[in-house]
Chains A and B, each alone.
Chain A
Amino acid sequence: MIPIRCMSCGKPISAYFKEYQQRIADGEASKAIFEDMKIKRYCCRRMFISHVETWE
C-alpha cells in the first residue's frame, strides 16, 4: 500500500493517490496531475511515480 506520508518531507500524499490513479487510468499526464493537485516537490512526486502495488 502507498505510504501515508512522503518519506522525505512528511506531506500526506496518500490522500491524493486514489484520484491520481483514476486520472492516470483516464490517460492524463503525471505532470499535469501533480500541478493540478499542487504537489510541487520532487520528493512527493516520486512517491506516486515509483509506487508499485504489491498487495493485490
Chain B
Amino acid sequence: MEIEVKENSENEMVFVLNNVDLAFANAIRRIGMMEVPKIAIEYINVIKNDSRMFNEVLAHRLGLVPITSDSEAIESLIPHEECDCEDYCSKCSVSFTLNKTWDDLPKDESKDKDIQRIVYSKDLHSTDSKIKPVFDTIPLVKLKEDQEIELEAIAMIGKGKYHAKWMPTTVCSYKQYPIITFDGEKELSNDVIDACPNNVLKLTKNKKPSAQHLKKNIENCTLCKSCVRASENDAIDVSYEDNKIIFKIETDGSMNPKEVLLRACDVLYDKADKISEQTEEEIKSS
C-alpha cells in the first residue's frame, strides 16, 4: 500500500491510496467520521437567560460549536465512559462560562438601530487555555437592552456515532481513480469536451485530446460519464482502477485532517488487537 498526499492544508487533505482494497478504505472512512473522539459541549447549566431563545435551542447551538480537540488539547481528559463519576467531573470534562449583559456587548455596526446585540463564541471562557472554540465569530444569541445571559457549559469527549456534534470531519470520502481512454482513430467533438462538468477534457490545436491537461485534471473526474453519453461515435471511454482510490478528508477545524487519519488508523488497530487478544484467551481457556 502506497500513499501520496496531493493536498494538505489546515482543514483539508486529499491523498491517493494505491494497492488498497475498497473494504479497507471504507473502514478508514467510517471510523474517521464515527469513531474518532473529539470534544463538544454536552450539558449546560443555565443560571439566567433573558433572551428570546429557549434554553434547549441554545444548548443545541452551543453543542454544535466546534472546539479545539487536537491530541495536545485532548490528552488531559478521559472519555466519560472510562470515568468513575456519574454525570461529569473535572477529569472527564471542561467547563465554559458565558456571562454577558447587553451593556457588555459592542454595538452592531452594520445596523442603524441599536436594539439587539449579538453574543459570539469568543465570549465563551474556558477553564483550560488549550481548549477553546475554534472560531471566534459564531453568533450564539441576541440580547436586547437590560437582558442578560449567564450559563455554564460542560464539554466532554464523545464520538460521532452518538451525535453529529462529535464528528471531526465534514467531508470524509473516497472515489476510485478514473481512467479516461480515447479511441485515437475517431474524432472527438466539442460537445464531448463541453459535456464534462469539471473541465477535465480539453482539445489541442490539432483537434486531439490534450494529454497534458488530462494528466493535470484527471483527479477531478467524478466518473459521471457525461462525456461518454455525449459522444456519438464511442471516441471516449471512462472506467476506473480497481485498487487505487482518491481519499478526501475535510474537518470542521477542531483538529487537522492528518490527525483524523492517524487516529482513525489507531482506532482500527485497537479493534483488531482486541480481537486477536480475545481469540487467544478463548483458545487457551477451552
Scoring B residues 80 to 106 as 1 if CB is less than 8 Å from chain A, else 0, what string do you get? 000000000000000000000000000
Looking at the complex, which one of A1, A10, A15, A21 makes contact with B170 (CB distance below 8 Å)? A10
Looking at the complex, which one of A2, A11, A25 makes contact with B139 (CB distance below 8 Å)? A2
Give min CB distance, B167 to chain A, whole Å: 6
Complex contact A12–B139 (CB within 8 A): no
Complex contact A10–B116 (CB within 8 A): no
Nearest B residue (CB) for A44: B170
Residues of chain B lying within 8 A (CB to CB) of residue A21: 110
- Near B by CB (< 8 A), chain A positions 2-40 give 2, 4-6, 9-12, 14-19, 21-22, 25
Please report the C-alpha to C-alpha distance between residue A28 and residue B61 in the assembled complex, in whole angstroms. 29
The answer to the question of B157 belonging to the interface, with a C-beta cut-off of 8 Å to chain A, is no
Complex contact A10–B252 (CB within 8 A): yes
Complex contact B171–A12 (CB within 8 A): no
Please report the C-alpha to C-alpha distance between residue A17 and residue B139 in the assembled complex, in whole angstroms. 9
Give min CB distance, B128 to chain A, whole Å: 21
Please report the C-alpha to C-alpha distance between residue A9 and residue B139 in the assembled complex, in whole angstroms. 19
Looking at the complex, which one of A4, A10, A55 makes contact with B61 (CB distance below 8 Å)? A4
Please report the C-alpha to C-alpha distance between residue A14 and residue B253 in the assembled complex, in whole angstroms. 13
Nearest A residue (CB) for B116: A56
Interface size class of B (residues with CB under 8 A): 20 to 34
Complex contact A10–B141 (CB within 8 A): no
Please report the C-alpha to C-alpha distance between residue A40 and residue B250 in the assembled complex, in whole angstroms. 12
Give min CB distance, A44 to chain B, whole Å: 9
Interface size class of A (residues with CB under 8 A): 20 to 34
Please report the C-alpha to C-alpha distance between residue A18 and residue B120 in the assembled complex, in whole angstroms. 11
Give min CB distance, B197 to chain A, whole Å: 12
- Near A by CB (< 8 A), chain B positions 32-79 give 52-53, 61, 64-66
Residues of chain A lying within 8 A (CB to CB) of residue B238: none
Residues of chain B lying within 8 A (CB to CB) of residue A18: 137, 139
Beyond the given pairs A10-B252, A11-B170, 10 more chain A to chain B contacts, judged by CB atoms under 8 angstroms and listed by A's residue number, are A1-B142, A4-B64, A10-B167, A10-B170, A12-B64, A15-B137, A16-B137, A17-B139, A25-B110, A56-B115
- Complex A-B: 21 CB contacts under 8 Å: A1-B53, A1-B139, A2-B139, A4-B138, A5-B252, A9-B170, A10-B164, A11-B252, A12-B64, A12-B66, A12-B134, A12-B138, A12-B252, A15-B136, A15-B137, A15-B138, A17-B137, A21-B110, A55-B116, A55-B142, A56-B115
